[in-house]
Amino acid sequence: MTPIDWTKYDAVLFDLDGVITPTAIVHERAWAKMFNAYLATRTEVAAPYVDADYFAYIDGKPRYDGVRDFLASRDIELPLGTPQDAPSELTICGLGNRKNEVFNEVLSDEGVDAYPGSIQLLDHLAGLHVPLAIVSSSKNAPAVLRAAGLTQRFRTIVDGQVAVQFQIPGKPAPDMFQHAARALGVSDRRSVVVEDAVSGVQAGAAGDFARVVGVDRGAGHDVLMRAGADLVVTDLRELVP
């Protein structure tokens, strides 16, 4: 692979989960803690939540869909409720909101460490004074960055909360990345997108960005290339000259 000459670009726009931090681990622990606490309160016996349930019913889905599909696997029916439901309410949305609370508890108690190779690339770009942004669909992105001690590394954060506030279409639309480039005061054509998810790579490819780098954390090299990546690496240290 030909090394990237980062001096040719004005900004780098990173996804967070799976690119900078292995946040999926925190999500998995939070789901397990929330569901098993809920199941313990039921009079009917149901099989406990196990690690395989995350991949079978939850991974890659919107939060409330994951709650619904896991409960269905245990023959449990709850009303949908609304996104405004309190975490104590026994609705699908209530449990989903409870999971978000537990996520923040686990994150606070256990923290999260960035991938070492990602830190190497961030260090290299800092030495070149290249502006950096986080572009994440998650509303937890600021909390994750604080827990990892990385907040000051990025000049702007465009996350799920910003997307709602400014009514920005989510990935695979390119709008969140475009918003980040504008916030940094740079053009899309001079910005590099770094993503691990198919929808994120598609978002980068849908815009007029200089390069789209795929990070293969399990999606597959060929899948990310077909989604529109210009090159695919397995670790960001490969992008350090």
Mean pLDDT of the chain: 94
Helix-, strand-, coil-residue percentages of the chain, each rounded to 5: 50, 10, 40
Query: Closest Cα partner for 48 from 58, 37, 59?
Result: 37
Instruction: Please state the separation of Cα 204 from the chain's center in Å.
Output: 15
pLDDT digits (tens, 9 = 90+) for 36-45: 999 999 988 8
**Selected catalytic residue, list 5, 10, 15, 235:** 15
222 is catalytic: no
CATH of domain 6-23+113-239: 3.40.50.1000
pLDDT digits (tens, 9 = 90+) for 105-118: 999 898 899 999 99
- Sole residue written with tokens 């997108």: 193
51 is catalytic: no
Q: How many CB atoms within 10 Å of residue 142?
A: 17
Q: What is the pLDDT of residue 2?
A: 67
Q: Average pLDDT, stretch 170-195?
A: 96
Q: If residue 189 lies in a helix (H) or strand (E), which one and from where to where?
A: none
% of the chain at pLDDT higher than 90: 79
What's the whole-model pTM score? 0.83
Could you check whether the bond before residue 172 is cis, i.e. omega within 30 degrees of 0?
Answer: yes
Paired with 212 in beta bridges are: 193
55: DSSP letter? I
Q: What is the pLDDT of residue 128?
A: 98
**Selected catalytic residue, list 17, 85, 175, 216:** 17
